[in-house]
Amino acid sequence: MYGGGYVQENENEKKATSAVQDDPIKLEAFEAKISRGEKIEPRDWMPFDYRRQLIRMIEQHAHSEIMGALPEGTWITRAPNFKRKMAIMAKVQDEIGHGQMLYSAAETLGKPREEMINDLLSGKSKYSNVFNYPAKTWADVTVIGFLIDAAAIVNQVINSKGSYGPYCRALERICFEEAFHLKQGHDAFVALATGTKFQREMLQEALNRWWQPIMHFHGPSDKLSVHTERLMRWKVKMASNDDMRQQFLNTYVPKIWELGLTIPDPNMHKNEETKQWEFTEPDWDEFFRVINGDGPCNKERIAVRKWAEEHGRWVREALMNPAEKYSLPYA
């Protein structure tokens, strides 16, 4: 899932899922269609758990796009120059647009946007853990813009080849814009890495702070993830958490080292026999603690969203035409 948007099922959810018996003939036809590489569309029959897991995954991705704009948005007024200010403003605007596209994709599965937002504000629905950490300096913004966006692109490019049509089409469009975000983040990251001694030290400190959240980004290791096997068979996910993490490390660790920066993990190295990166296992207790609301910025970030929801209500009500009938999108 996007950025560790991983939620352990409670007992009620498990019981609800186990109580549903899908039609075996329809299930066989559904899985045959996926095996042929065809897309599942909103009006098609789909298993109960396929729909439920897609809603969970797309909704959390949408929340992450919206919440991800908050740490960068606070730096719009403090960006170091006009060029950086314009770039970060454009990026924040794009991220909000991505969230709206993803909410639309999730709505095609039958869950209204208002319910998704209410679940976010109540804490029932989660978002990426990385957005519960503070951006203390401009260097933090460059780490987010380069490495967090890079990790997201790994996830999104892979899953854009999945089985659910509306989500795949949204991801394809999002990936075009994220490619520009990555270039903007890389440019700002390199500027600090090749700048003054103070700038390099500031960047290294930010990288040290963010390395564990980055390692958390793709979610728990495969041995801890409870959804992966079925989601991959149904092509909801196209790669496991560990596979995506390895792809990220393979591409971006060398780029960090090329700039003369260090990674705060003395065990980080590539095993030449297995061709896999070996590293210190991140603190998964912290990962789940932050998901459950005990991160550095959980309360602050949700409070900002609640404030925006409350103070923007008059705009939504003014735009509401009681005579118009609301219908779910099918694109």
| Number of domains into which the chain is organized | 1
Domain for residue 79, yes or no? yes
Domain for residue 325, yes or no? no
Domain for residue 324, yes or no? no
Q: Residue 3: what pLDDT?
A: 42
Q: Residue 48: what pLDDT?
A: 95
d(CA 174, CA 99): 10
Domain of residue 252: give its range. 27-319
Question: What three-state secondary structure class fits 276?
Answer: strand
Domain for residue 54, yes or no? yes
Q: Residue 216: what pLDDT?
A: 96
Please compute the mean of the pLDDT values over residues 158-179 and round it to a whole number.
Answer: 95
Residue 148 DSSP code: I
Q: Give the CATH number for residue 245.
A: 1.20.1260.10
Domain for residue 252, yes or no? yes
d(CA 148, CA 151): 5
Domain for residue 21, yes or no? no
Percent of the chain with pLDDT over 90: 82
Map 209-222 to HEC letters.
HHHHHHHHCCCCCC
pTM of structure: 0.89
pLDDT tens for each residue of 99-141 = 999 999 999 999 999 999 999 999 999 999 999 999 999 999 9
Classify residue 180 as exposed, middle or buried by CB count within 10 Å of its CB (0-12, 13-18, 19+). middle
CB 128 within 8 A of CB 168: no
* Residue 317 pLDDT grade (very low, low, confident, very high; cuts 50, 70, 90): confident
d(CA 130, CA 52): 24
Q: Is the pLDDT of residue 269 over 70?
A: yes
Domain for residue 67, yes or no? yes
Q: What are the backbone dihedrals phi and psi of residue 326, each rounded to the nearest 5 degrees, phi first?
A: -85, 135
Question: How distant, in Å, are the alpha carbons of 38, 61, 108, 154, 203 from that of 171?
Answer: 17, 10, 15, 12, 30
Domain for residue 194, yes or no? yes
Question: How distant, in Å, are the alpha carbons of 133, 143, 249, 281 from that of 265?
Answer: 19, 17, 13, 10
